[in-house]
Structure 1
Amino acid sequence: MRGELAHAVDLRPLDPVRSIKVKLGLVVAASLAVGLLVAQLGQRSLGVPVLWTLALAMAVALLLTHVLAHGMTSPLRQMTAAAREMAAGRPATEVATSSRDEVGELARAFTAMARQIAEADAQRQALLANVAHELRTPVAALRAELENLVDGVRPADDEALRDTLAQVERMGLLLDDLLDLARTEGGTGQLVAADVDLAVLVGDVAGQVSSAHRGRPVDLDVPPGTRAWADEQRLRQVLTNLLDNACRHGGTDGAVRVLARPGPASGAVVIEVQDDGPGVPEAMRAEVFERFRRGGAGLPGDGGTGLGLAIARWAVALHGGRIAVVPSEVGCRVRVELPGQVQP
């Protein structure tokens, strides 16, 4: 019953007004006008004594003020309740308002903030779950390898040691990626931009990635002398992640192709990395750059941590560039556009 009564008096005829000061002025003017009207009617038409007429006029004016003010302050009460829910660790309810004044703007900003906090909390929980999941596999494999060595089930030969080292390296790779991810969220990334010989850099990275994938061929289409204005370490990180991702998700016998060409501005460059794998569905082309998202086949145990493309997007964003999966007739094609900078 109390809720129905509160809803009944939650009138908001002043919501279209854009200023809270104008609203207050209108409330005062309306209260005075109604009070004077009631006083005049009570004294002249009904013959009520002056004191009773004034008391009735004041009561009616206060009631009108209460009704109008209740609607004006309704978003503030909703925000207070939502803030208490957030303080208690519960999700905040959305603040519903049609007001166009400063209170309405505050309510909409509060709702957006509460939504972002809820999304950040969900991402934090997902991150913890994903990190635990990613670490569980190499730790379990390493434990099994060591138990076999200790129990004498497997001799401590070179092959066993290499398998153990591979698991340790996988954990090290994941931890390195997590550190890079922490830098992306902490905003601590810095660029040391310089003139980079892109042909040399791409050739070096391609050789390293090809060796790591047992000599998988990488075709280069980078004209000699192609330059890029970029942070060489960050650009190497981008290329390594893109080439490694392409080698893992490409076809069994197909080659990975790297194409680069100068952009319109000084030091600007466009780089494309393409494989011949199953590709990425159009609906997932933006999602593959999210943390712990594996594009293409998206198979667990493919050797990746699910962080490479997220880190690549961060590094490209530091340069003020763009990275995206673009349409391709075969496989997956990732395009990186760096805007460059005039060299001082």
Structure 2
Amino acid sequence: MFEQLKPKRLMWKIWVLILLIIVTLALMILLTVRSSIAQFIDEQVYETLQDVDYYLGNTNQLENIPQNPIEYDRRQQESRSVNQLIFLPNGRIIYGSAPLELTNRMYREAIEQTSEIAKYQTTIDGEDVYYIIRQNEYDGTLIYQASYAWDAYRRELVSTLFWRISILIGVISLLSLIPALWMSRELTKPIVEMERAVEKISNRQWETVLPLAREDELGQLARSIDAMRLELQEQDLAQQALLQNISHDLKTPIMVIRGYAQSIGDGIYPTGDLRGSAEVIDEEASRLEKKVVDLLYVTKLEYFKGQEMRLEPINLDKLMELLVARFKLRGDLEWAVTGHAGEMLGDGEQIRVAFENVLDNALRYAQSSIRIHLNRTDAGVEIVIANDGPPVDENLDLFHQFSRGKQGKFGLGLFIVQRIVTLHHGEVTLGNTADGVAVRFRFPHSKTVQISNSDE
């Protein structure tokens, strides 16, 4: 039930918070003012009692004041509001009079008093009375001199001041709620706008405009969301193009396989014989398998992103030797491997896949030769795979997930390469050379390698 009463909108939460602050401050001020007023009046009463007690007990001092008529008149007025009672240790009153209950209380406290002068306060029949008791000597005899005054107006004064201050603070608090409500609306207005904008963006309404004309933290948040919107818009367009083109690339081998299979079932061999037709089916199936494997491997890399990598020492020289021996069987090209890179720490399967994808591209576009150079420096290891194929458009980001390759086809091979190298805190670049195209890998010397969380 209580949870249902909680305000759900931020504007009301801010308004309630400000209201609680105002109420808390008002209560603290009222309590402080009330106690301060009471304490101040008490101090003033005791100060008056002490002054009158002193001057009444020293009449020669009072007689020396007439030269200051104002001070003399003030003392006279104070002395009229203060009563005195003088009694002996045996309880006999030798001067003044007071109610019996007050007299008995003064006598008990005077007997127990250890200091020369002490202050007291008590209530008799609902009336407050303040008094001080002084120990004196008269003709060698100990006497007690009590000066007391009834508080006829203290409670009424404190209550009156308290309620007037309470009314004033209440009015100020009510008036403060209006700017508090306005401020809460102003604070939450851009947040509400961003909420609506984000909701539209989630529905792929990429033209949504956010409140960017602010220089505070909300403006920075709006600009970050707008940058995300633009990136999502670009990703969405590229993904749509990818799905269209990848579906076409997948559809083509499937159509060829089905067409050849139906022809063979009808006793027709498109290539002239069964063996040739079976080879075409196998080749198209391999193409289809390669695209599916790439898609699954991208998903695998994204799944393991942010998790700890399985590290092992990788002999780069031996790995490259095995890969070259295998790729030599797939084409009649000249291969040249030079230099040494030694070992590095990493995921052996991922490094192998990265080199395989680059070698597969080199084998596809090379005209006569593929050159591989391995090198180890103080900064790390470097592997260059070059071929004498046609140049590439260096203005395109061929390592992007949705980049379009040669002949307008979409491929994930280079994106997988870039992702693997990034996870190993390395760097990979692709560029034209004087006699072809080269892909350059750089891996740092690192004893520990962990998965990167970046989405580069």
Are 1:238 and 2:354 counterparts?
A: yes
User: Which residue of 319, 329, 333 corresponds with 2:438?
Assistant: 333
The within-5 A match list for 1:50-89 is 75-86=190-201, 88-89=203-204
Which entry has the higher C-alpha Rg, 1 or 2?
Answer: 2
User: Which residue of 399, 408, 411 corresponds with 1:289?
Assistant: 399
Are 1:222 and 2:339 counterparts?
A: yes
- What one-letter code is carried by the residue in structure 2 that aligns with 1:211? L
Quote the residue 1:206 is aligned against. Answer: 324
Are 1:175 and 2:292 counterparts?
A: yes
Q: RMSD of the alignment, in Å?
A: 3.4
Are 1:259 and 2:373 counterparts?
A: yes
Q: After the TM superposition, which of the residue ranges 140-149 and 321-330 deviates more from structure 2?
A: 321-330
Are 1:274 and 2:382 counterparts?
A: no
Quote the residue 1:101 is aligned against. Answer: 216
2: CA distance, partners of 1:131 / 1:244: 19
- How far is the alpha carbon of 1:306 from its aligned partner? 1.3
- How far is the alpha carbon of 1:239 from its aligned partner? 1.1
Deviations 1:111-130 (A, max 9, x none): 23333443443344233223
Q: Secondary structure at the match of 2:384?
A: strand
- How far is the alpha carbon of 1:202 from its aligned partner? 0.6
Q: Secondary structure at the match of 1:341?
A: coil
- How far is the alpha carbon of 1:139 from its aligned partner? 0.6
2: CA distance, partners of 1:110 / 1:292: 22
- How far is the alpha carbon of 1:271 from its aligned partner? 0.4
Cα distance change on mapping 1:340 and 1:219 into 2, 3 Å: same
Q: Secondary structure at the match of 1:175?
A: helix
| Aligned partners of 1:85 and 1:92 also within 8 Å | no
- How far is the alpha carbon of 1:320 from its aligned partner? 0.8
- What one-letter code is carried by the residue in structure 1 that aligns with 2:317? A
2: CA distance, partners of 1:294 / 1:263: 34
Q: Name the count of aligned residue pairs.
A: 277
- By relative contact order (CA 8 Å, sep 6+), the higher-ranking structure is 1
2: CA distance, partners of 1:257 / 1:132: 34
Cα distance change on mapping 1:191 and 1:83 into 2, 3 Å: closer
Cα distance change on mapping 1:141 and 1:234 into 2, 3 Å: same
- What one-letter code is carried by the residue in structure 1 that aligns with 2:357? N
Cα distance change on mapping 1:129 and 1:141 into 2, 3 Å: same
- Uncovered stretches (5+) of structure 1, i.e. residues with no partner: 1-19, 25-57
Cα distance change on mapping 1:273 and 1:88 into 2, 3 Å: closer
Cα distance change on mapping 1:70 and 1:342 into 2, 3 Å: closer
Name the structure with the higher strand share: 2
| Aligned partners of 1:274 and 1:332 also within 8 Å | yes
- How far is the alpha carbon of 1:74 from its aligned partner? 5.1
Cα distance change on mapping 1:184 and 1:129 into 2, 3 Å: farther
Are 1:247 and 2:363 counterparts?
A: yes
Quote the residue 1:17 is aligned against. Answer: none
Cα distance change on mapping 1:218 and 1:291 into 2, 3 Å: farther
- Uncovered stretches (5+) of structure 2, i.e. residues with no partner: 1-13, 19-173, 450-456
| Aligned partners of 2:309 and 2:347 also within 8 Å | yes
Cα distance change on mapping 1:228 and 1:92 into 2, 3 Å: same
